[in-house]
Structure 1
Amino acid sequence: MYPGNAPFASASRNTKPRGQAMSAPAKRALLIAKHWPEPASTAAGRRTLDILDLLADAGYRVEIASPAQPTPFQAKTGYGEHPIEVNESSFDRWVRALNPALVIYDRFMMEEQFGWRVREQCPDALTLLDTSDFHSLREARHQALKSGQPLNLFHPIAEREVAAMARCDLTVMISKVEVELLKQHFCLPDWQLHYLPFMVRELPDLNTLPDFDERQHLVMIGGFKHAPNRDATTWFAQEVWPQLRSLLPGVECHVYGAYSDHAMHRLSDPATGLRVYGRTEDALATLARYRLNLAPLRFGAGQKGKILDGWLSGTPTVTTPIGAESMAPEDAWGYPLSDAPEQFAATTAHLYRDQTAWRSARDAGTHALETEFSYAPHAAAFIERLETIAADLDAHRNRQIWGRILRRTEHRAEEFMSRWIETKNKMTDT
């Protein structure tokens, strides 16, 4: 009924022209991205561009480099964009000439691939790791869910991710929960971590958005390259929807997501009202047509863009404890958080039918936006943190004994593997 194909516009993005003339040469900020940012496909892509916009506002000249293939859905950022290759020394000459003052690694894999090269060619560049979410925590929760075993945080991926954090000057975390986890369980110091959530420049005007009686049906949204979204859709279709249908006869649930595939579309059952679509033209406009937004996440990490978009569109969200984590306190949702199918279905039915409860949940979301996600204080604190570190980078690095140890020769496996692959490739070519 409501399928679409074009990317959506984020209400939290800054849309002013970039690259404006400056009276003095701008410092360069280089993002080394795992994928070209796709704000219409993933919340991570939108957050990445929000950070780049913030840096541009602060006077940086922003450049993006990525080894990924271009896609039809990547953003037209207006920033410098540069294709790069892994295991290729041409990157060394290029980054040395670029001479960035700030280098941001988009997830720990990019630090592993390019961090040692940046350290050699641009030793004075401040290096920052943006985890997007704590990848290791998400993976640990996924394995615990599949195996039924207790959560194991200390696995090989965690070792790699925390090592990348130690090698960088600062790690940006989107979740306060994950900041505390890194401090308590992985012994990372507070001065090496910075909390930077989703940032919202303007609050929604609820008076201009459809009210309870103007909305109908349920909606789910989230890119299907993200394993938690695939699991949530499957679990909802198999465990929750059969119960919810009996509680809300005639109500449909429409699922939207970038990169939908055959496995996801097989869950669609128009006879029962469950419909799985692909991309939506505009996430906020789409969400604003529905009465409730569902986020039945059973594992994951970080903050959840689908919940943020629900709040921005004035659409209350029913979620689980994992979904609620790092978004708002457990007692701030207006309903009991649960990942039990029966309770999730009962909560959804109650909010769908009860206008007072619906408005209470909607207002709670708006309050969370106002108190936790306001752009100005978070942007100012982030830029101040960067400037403080850059003002005495040597002293900052001298405090990072484990980072210094991990940068020594005997702990440089990624560098030597990359050099070996590059040499092998050259021998093969000749």
Structure 2
Amino acid sequence: MYRDAPTKRTLLLAKHWPEPASTAAGRRTLDILELLAEAGYEIEIASPAQPTPFQAKTGYGEHQIEVNDSGFDDWVRALNPMLVIYDRFMMEEQFGWRMREQCPHAVTVLDTSDFHSLREARHEALKHGQPLNLFHPIAEREIAAMARCDLTLMISRVEVELLKQHFCLPDWLLHYLPFLVKQLPDLKTLPGFDERQHLAMIGGFKHAPNRDATIWFAEQVWPQLHRLLPGVECHVYGAYSDHAMHRLSDPATGFRVHGRTDDALATLARYRLNLAPLRFGAGQKGKILDGWLSGTPTVTTPIGAESMAPADAWGYVLSDNPDQFAATTAQLYQNQTAWLGARDAGQQALASEFFYEHHAAAFIARLESIAENLQEHRNRNIWGRILRRTEHRAEEFMSRWIEAKNKLADM
């Protein structure tokens, strides 16, 4: 039934159904799909994840699929997309070989959301107090998935340069596409300095950097910040909060861990400062973008600031030292002039880096150029061809073995 459908059909193969109110990755996914839909692409989403009550109501076609299931082959061959997007490298590992067999002429795109293996490497370095090691097994898998695809979308200029310099990926396999903002907030309609009070943190707790940031802040920063700002509270919001997070609440000092918030911008607009005390991570940070969009100055660390704005463009000195982080937060909370400077710096970052019209046309043009010259593009990518022929066969054979094993178990 699909073979006669419009040729500009896009299939997103998603590890999870997009939850833009829960994760920055969910918002990122919808940014891309909206951009493609406005360019005339028909959108279909397929995921092996179970639906959740918090997933976006996209209006696009949605399909439940299974891993290690040859039924996917017949379905996707009939769907016949011209563009396939994997939203994590694990999805390319699982479904990439099937897509190449069934839809060999579809342009394949990997959207990393953030450089997953960089985030993991930073986490390991922090946990063990060791130098950063970029060259580990997860990096090998992620780089291999990038090489097998026709294009990889990166949300961070820093990570684009890292891939080029340390992993030797060429420019023509990479495309920078940040969070997309269509208009700046009208600051006149938002609460001002005197109308706001208290501190806020926001971020889903399935994301390890957010969990670590909350624990670090509660244990290392909040005790001294509470002394600097008596009577000021800190409210932490996050989807998928659990007992380990809620036990950090200390009503006596005003540190309170809440669950999810349905409207991040409306929530942040009530607070004087937005905190993002990240000690590791990668990519762009949705929590900082939310702060800027709600006119709420954000206090963050060098890791938090990376890929969002230059280190000298925040209106204060970036630091992951607990004493300095507390002092900066106290200064911005109490000093209206400093607060306005940090707020305006965020608005400048939005205007200079994240505007939709600065990125939309270039992305669509890049996709269409690859589609028009697909065989030449793939011939040029010799390492991708080698990996598709050799390493990825192991993924195929493992998947077929699991499928056969499951069928025998059901007999």
Q: Identify the TM-score tier after normalising by the shorter chain.
A: over 0.9
* Displacement of 1:78: 0.1
Counterpart of 1:137 in structure 2 is 118
CA distance in 2, matches of 1:77, 1:261: 28
TM-score normalized with structure 2 length:
0.98
1:224 to 189, 198, 205: 205
2:275 to 294, 297, 303: 294
Q: Is structure 2 residue 38 aligned with structure 1 residue 57?
A: yes
* Displacement of 1:25: 2.8
Counterpart of 2:405 in structure 1 is 424
2:188 to 191, 195, 207: 207
* Displacement of 1:411: 4.5
Q: Write the letter of the residue equivalent to 1:137.
A: L
CA distance in 2, matches of 1:293, 1:244: 14
Q: Write the letter of the residue equivalent to 2:155.
A: I
CA distance in 1, matches of 2:169, 2:262: 41
* Displacement of 1:114: 0.1
Maintained 8 Å contact 2:7/2:82: no
2:154 to 173, 176, 182: 173
Q: Is structure 2 residue 362 aligned with structure 1 residue 385?
A: no
Counterpart of 2:15 in structure 1 is 34
1:413 to 394, 401, 404: 394
Counterpart of 2:342 in structure 1 is 361
Maintained 8 Å contact 1:298/1:339: yes
CA distance in 2, matches of 1:68, 1:410: 26
Q: Write the letter of the residue equivalent to 2:354.
A: F
Pair 412,26 (structure 1): closer, same or farther in 2 beyond 3 Å: closer
Q: Write the letter of the residue equivalent to 1:160.
A: R
Deviations 1:372-427 (A, max 9, x none): 00001211110010011111100000110100000114542111100100111111
CA distance in 1, matches of 2:179, 2:8: 24
Q: Is structure 2 residue 233 aligned with structure 1 residue 252?
A: yes
CA RMSD, 1 decimal: 0.8
Pair 410,229 (structure 1): closer, same or farther in 2 beyond 3 Å: closer
Maintained 8 Å contact 1:405/1:411: no
Counterpart of 2:77 in structure 1 is 96
Counterpart of 1:373 in structure 2 is 354
Equivalent pairs counted in the alignment come to 407
2:291 to 291, 305, 310: 310
Q: Is structure 2 residue 354 aligned with structure 1 residue 396?
A: no
Q: Which aligned segments of 4 or more residues in structure 1 are displaced greater than 6 angstroms?
A: none
Q: Is structure 2 residue 300 aligned with structure 1 residue 319?
A: yes
Q: Is structure 2 residue 90 aligned with structure 1 residue 109?
A: yes
CA distance in 2, matches of 1:92, 1:250: 61
Pair 107,425 (structure 1): closer, same or farther in 2 beyond 3 Å: same
* Displacement of 1:281: 2.4
Q: How does 1:77-96 map to 2 (within 5 A)?
A: 77-96=58-77
2:164 to 174, 183, 186: 183
Q: Write the letter of the residue equivalent to 2:339.
A: W
Deviations 1:304-327 (A, max 9, x none): 000000000000000000000000
Counterpart of 1:351 in structure 2 is 332
Maintained 8 Å contact 1:178/1:302: yes
Q: How does 1:12-23 map to 2 (within 5 A)?
A: none
Counterpart of 1:264 in structure 2 is 245
Q: Is structure 2 residue 309 aligned with structure 1 residue 328?
A: yes
* Displacement of 1:26: 5.0
* Displacement of 1:198: 0.2
SS in 2 for 1:25: coil
Gaps of 5+ in 1: 1-23
TM-score normalized with structure 1 length:
0.94
Q: Write the letter of the residue equivalent to 1:327.
A: M
Q: Write the letter of the residue equivalent to 1:41.
A: S
Deviations 1:347-385 (A, max 9, x none): 000000000000000000001000100001211110010
Gaps of 5+ in 2: none
CA distance in 2, matches of 1:132, 1:294: 22
SS in 2 for 1:30: strand
Q: Write the letter of the residue equivalent to 1:412.
A: R
